Amino acid sequence: MINFLNTYGFLIVSMLFGAVLGLSVYLPLMAGQLSLATPGFYALGGYIAAILSTQVFKFTGTIFPFPFLLIELLITTLVSAILAIALGIPVLRLRGIYLAISTIAFVEILRVLALNLEITGGAVGIFGIPQPFATPLEYLWVAIPLLILSMLFLYRLEKIKAGRAFSAIREDELAADSMGINPTYYKALSFTLGAILAGLVGTISAHFINTWNARQGTFDSSIIYLAFVLIGGSRTFWGPVLGGIILTALPEVLRGMGGMSSLPLWLAQFLRDGRLIIFGVLLVLGSIFYPQGLITPELLNKIARKNPFRGILNKQSIKG
Amino acid sequence: MDLNLFLQLFLNGLSIGSVYAIFALGYTLVFSILGVINFAHGAIFTLGAYFTYTLSGGVFGFNGLLANGKLPFQLPFFVALILGSILAGLASILLERLAFKPLRVRRADPLLTLVSSLGAAVVIVNVIQYLVGAEIYTFPDNIYGNIPAAINFGTETRPIMIRTVQVIIFGVCAVIVALLTYLVNGTKIGKALQAVAEDETTASLLGINPEQFITITFFVSGLLAGLAGTLVGSSVSIAGPYFGISFGLKGLGVIVLGGLGSIPGAVIGGLLLGLAEAFVPPDFSGYREAISFAILFIMLLVRPEGLLGRKRIQKV
């Protein structure tokens, strides 16, 4: 077991990060806003960690002090929130595809800035980011609490006034507006919460993968994170969590399957080199045959009826 | 800036801008009919470049499944260009059948169509990589025959040198735009196309078969993407399977600038973006890539319907 965990430590932690990134796309979607800005904030969080840990905190030693990491997370939260509010208020006036396009533009502008500025290390990026943990697996000490806290937060959010306002705006913005819900405020709120989550994952990831460059937040990743939500399910927060976990693991699982010796040679080679082809096919099939995603509120209800732990899942039915 | 330098940059800008324009035309055609953005358009662009490369006698690299292979025959470049673009058009029809139509029949959320077209793009790009490898492919130098490499528009002492390829690109684009404008505004097919774009249900009541026109639209759109891909590929080189992705994103900038769904808008947007890029000072050339996005961003905030677009009325 320990051996297994050590071998797959990197993948397991990445899967949890994937789940949180899925939630980051899901948050604005709760209020009906399709934002593809997640990779931008992810990259930003990573740069904050990379720059602070290599240039500002002058520490000597092998293990990066944990309190420094917490300070970085705090700074990321503040910076992401300020940027998200500044960006969100003008951009969120746009609807549907226009909002999606403008957030793509935001991500690309950040990427070009990162490629050209000196402080971000230009095209080469920043290397040798100190590690707060000795092995990849130990990052679970941060990844698990981050995922659980964000899930609890979303679980709670769906019940309180803000969450209900989100769904109201999602269903019909004009009607929500006329009921006295301020759409701009709640749209900006959902966008900002999503941005903060993405920034936090980026900050930890920069330490986790030890190096950070402009390839970390690109258009490709926008799509992959969106797929986490749409394939996993966009009507309950369980969807993006599951989608993030499965889709992060999928290419690696396919790679592993390609290494099995019992397979015919051509199939093994295809599984190894054609993993992304399979990933793309799944995106197409998923959107055609599972338009609601794998996890829907109805499915949760069905499970809840048979499940002794009714409490957690059952409340979803109110939204169904 | 002296006049000669200005003219030089202006012509460079027109040449690259005209490629942006035909690329964006295909984007905007599909948007005007279906109201969705086809994110696989950049992948079709790449595919077109590879088709023409293969047909004109190019040899595959040593990394893919088809390593070191080539066709048993070799076509003259211009024949290969036309055939390659037609193949890209057919690929685009196939794309529509597999990734768009099933969703349209189910009346799915446009967001899902977006994801499905992205999935298709991932498939196309990776199939190319799987088959022919990820390396850069260069068209042979003499594809355009014996015409000189550059044309001088200036005087002997103060030359304004333009590569012949750029002039050809501009010429081809001008012809395409003229033909397409005629097709849309001057023919029966074009009128029917406009009718489908305006209101699919009413059009079908008037005896127009929307499916047929959606197929035509995807064919023309793929044809234009393939043509643009080959032209860019022959003027620089085919920079691997991911060649079209950045074009796809820039194309978004172009169509938002011109107005989503507007054909003259795509042309004007393409030319403007090409010119804007050409006039970026060399010191800031690293930021050139961000120009289209900066323009797009400002445009969306100031006038989301674009230069020539119409405001979409929000129904309550």
DSSP per-residue letters across A27-49:
HHHHTT-----HHHHHHHHHHHH
Residues A106 and B297 sit within 8 Å (Cβ to Cβ): yes
* φ, ψ at B65 (rounded to 5°): -65, -35
Report which listed range, A33-47, A95-109, B277-291, is most confident: A33-47
Neighbours of A258 (CB within 10 A): 17
Predicted confidence band at B272 (pLDDT cuts at 50, 70, 90)?
very high
Residues A196 and A87: their CA atoms lie apart, in Å, by: 13
A128 CA to centre of own chain: 24
Closest CA to B226 of B49, B55, B53, B90: B49
User: At residue B40, does pLDDT exceed 70?
Assistant: yes
- Please, are residues B274 and B16 in contact by the beta-carbon 8 Å criterion? yes
Q: Determine whether the interchain pair B119/A91 forms a contact, defined as Cβ–Cβ distance below 8 Å.
A: no
Q: Which amino acid is at A116?
A: N
Confidence label for A307 from pLDDT (cuts 50, 70 and 90): low
Closest CA to B129 of B61, B82, B190: B61
Across A254-268, A272-286, B68-82, B162-176, least confident range:
A254-268
pLDDT at A228 over 50: yes
**Whether the predicted pLDDT of A92 surpasses 70:** yes
A161 is written with which tokens? 């006034």
Residues in A closer than 8 angstroms to B260, CB to CB, are 97
Mean of the pLDDT values across residues A63-79? 91
Q: Which two tokens stand for residue A213?
A: 């460059």
Q: Provide the pLDDT for residue A320.
A: 40
Q: What is the mean pLDDT of residues B98-116?
A: 88
Mean pLDDT of B108-126: 88
Q: Where are the beta strands (DSSP E) in chain A?
A: none
Angle between helices B243-258 and B210-235 (to 10 degrees): 120
Asked if pLDDT for residue A48 goes beyond 60, the answer is: yes
CA pair distance B20, B36, nearest whole angstrom: 19
pLDDT at B294 over 60: yes
Q: For position A28, what pLDDT does the model report? A: 93
B chain contacts of residue A90, beta-carbon cutoff 8 Å: 301
How far apart CA B226 and CA B220 sit, in angstroms, is: 10
Band of residue A310 on the pLDDT scale cut at 50, 70, 90: low
A94-120 burial by CB neighbour count: b if 16+ within 10 A, else e?
beebbbbbbbbbbbbbbbbbbbbeeeb
What's the pTM value of the predicted model, to 2 decimals? Answer: 0.87
Which pLDDT score is estimated for A201?
96
In chain A, whose CA is at the least distance from the CA of B255?
A101
ipTM of the prediction greater than 0.95, yes or no? no
Sequence letter at residue B78: F
What Rg do the C-alpha atoms of chain B give, in angstroms? 20
By a Cβ cutoff of 8 Å, what residues of chain B touch chain A?
Answer: 36-37, 39, 98-99, 102-103, 106, 108-116, 118-123, 126-127, 130, 245, 249, 252-253, 256, 260, 286-287, 289-290, 293-294, 296-297, 300-301, 304, 316
Average pLDDT of every residue of chain A? 87
Q: What is the distance between the alpha carbons of residues B125 and A277, in angstroms, rounded to a whole number?
A: 8
CB A115 within 8 A of CB A103: no
The helix or strand, by DSSP H or E, that contains position B151, with its residue range, turns out to be strand B150-152
For residue B1, the one-letter residue type is M
Q: What pLDDT score does A283 carry?
A: 86
User: A5-9, A173-177, B125-129 — which is least confidently predicted?
Assistant: A5-9
A 10 A CB-CB count for B74 gives: 13
Cα–Cα distance for residue pair A230/A295, rounded to 1 Å: 10
CB contact under 8 A, A280 and B289: no
> Tell me, what DSSP letter sits at residue B162?
E
Structure confidence at residue A319 (pLDDT) = 45
Residue of higher predicted confidence among B109 and A316: B109
Q: Which residues of A touch B39 (CB under 8 A)?
A: 223
| Alpha-helical runs (H) found in chain B | 3-34, 41-55, 77-95, 101-105, 110-132, 164-186, 188-198, 200-205, 210-235, 243-258, 263-278, 288-302
What would the mean pLDDT of A179-185 be, rounded to a whole number?
89
In this complex, which of A90, A112, A283 lies closest to B116 when CB atoms are compared?
Answer: A283
Asked if residue A73 has pLDDT above 90, the reply is yes
pLDDT at position B35: 84
Q: Is the pLDDT of residue B89 over 60?
A: yes
Mean pLDDT of chain B: 86
Chain A residues closer than 8 Å to B120 by CB:
280, 284
